[in-house]
Amino acid sequence: MSELKRELHPTPKSADATVTDSLEQKESATGDTDVLSNDHPGRPREPKRRRRLTLAVLPTMLTLGNGVCGLAAIAIAMSDNPEWTNETQLLIAGTLIFGGMLFDALDGSAARMTGQESQFGAELDSLCDAITFGTAPAVIVWQYSYGMAMPQKLSWGIGVLFTLCVLIRLARFNVETDEDDSHDGFDGLPSPAAAGTLASFAIAMPELAGYASDSSYPESVQWTAQRLLDGSQFFMAGLTLVLAYLMVSRFQYKHVFQQLVQGRRAPHQIGQALFVLIGASVLHWLALPVVFCYYAFAPPLQSLLQRKP
């Protein structure tokens, strides 16, 4: 009867007990259970409840595919497989960087189309970009200069500088880009385009070596191709430095993929696309460096020419 009596006629609570109960009710509603631990040292500290994280499956898998391509490019570029030549390794590594570019272009579009954009996806995308477009191109530069005339410490420093500029570029993009951004353009050269430029040369070099060694081509073609191969190591080093600067610059670059999949195109833009297709059919893989260098250097040159009086 005593327990039933307490339930039917509860004893009046003190003012401190009433305040404590109200705080406990407030904490149970908000999910924060750590506030009362400081006021009551004897009470065991309860774990703080965290919001459950849900992932968008398709965008997340595409983003992780970007990271896998970057890791595979690094592994193959640094492989010591005796059956592969250095040119073959760099060719495969450059192709994998292009695969990472494809995944990087699709994950953001998939997230926007399905309405599954999140801060988690943006952070994961930056981490994968740092691998595929920051570290993997630096490894290609190191491996390309291995055993050649350039000092190894110099090529190592150039690769490190390129990776650091990629990290700065990604961090600046995350800070300055809002959720409502139209994604029509970029301030500074995008890191996928910079990495793609270096990867395009890695892909085109075997074909250039074929021009230099194939006796069916005229001697002038063979001589030109051989001279380009001899100077390609120093050219790649200088190109890497320029690309690193362009990434942290404020030159305006267009979002090519976004413009291709949205809206109508002007006649001159269709003509440019046809010019690229015809050039690719004639030059084959050698057209890749031409296209990427045009995208990387055209906006800065146009901006500098417009500033002149």
Length of the chain: 309
**Among candidate residues 148, 154, 128, the one with its CA nearest the CA of residue 73:** 128
What's the pLDDT score for residue 23? 44
Q: Where are the beta strands (DSSP E) in the chain?
A: 185-187, 252-254
Residue that is written with structure tokens 């970007």 in the block: 66
* pLDDT attached to residue 2: 43
DSSP 8-class letter at 35: S
- What pLDDT is recorded for position 64? 95
Residue type at position 248: V
Q: What is the full per-residue pLDDT of the chain (309 aa) written as tens digits?
A: 444 444 444 444 444 444 445 444 444 444 444 444 455 555 556 556 666 656 678 889 999 999 999 999 999 999 888 788 888 899 999 999 999 999 998 887 788 788 878 888 889 999 999 999 999 999 999 988 775 667 788 889 999 999 999 999 999 988 887 766 656 678 889 999 999 999 999 998 888 887 788 777 788 878 888 888 888 888 898 999 999 999 999 898 987 755 555 555 555 556 666 666 676 666 676 888 888 999 999 999 988 888 766
Tell the residue number behind the tokens 């040369």, with chain if given: 201
Q: What is the pLDDT of residue 241?
A: 95
Give the pLDDT confidence score for residue 44 in this predicted structure: 59
Question: Looking at residue 274, what is its pLDDT?
Answer: 65
- Rounded to 5 degrees, φ, ψ at 33 are -115, 10
pLDDT at residue number 166: 96
Residue among 193, 179, 180 at smallest CA distance from 249: 193
Q: Which domains does the chain have, with CATH numbers?
A: 59-296 (1.20.120)
Return the H-helix or E-strand segment holding 272.
Answer: helix 267-283
pLDDT of residue 52: 60
The secondary structure of 99-116 as a DSSP string is: HHHHHHHHHHHHHHHHT-
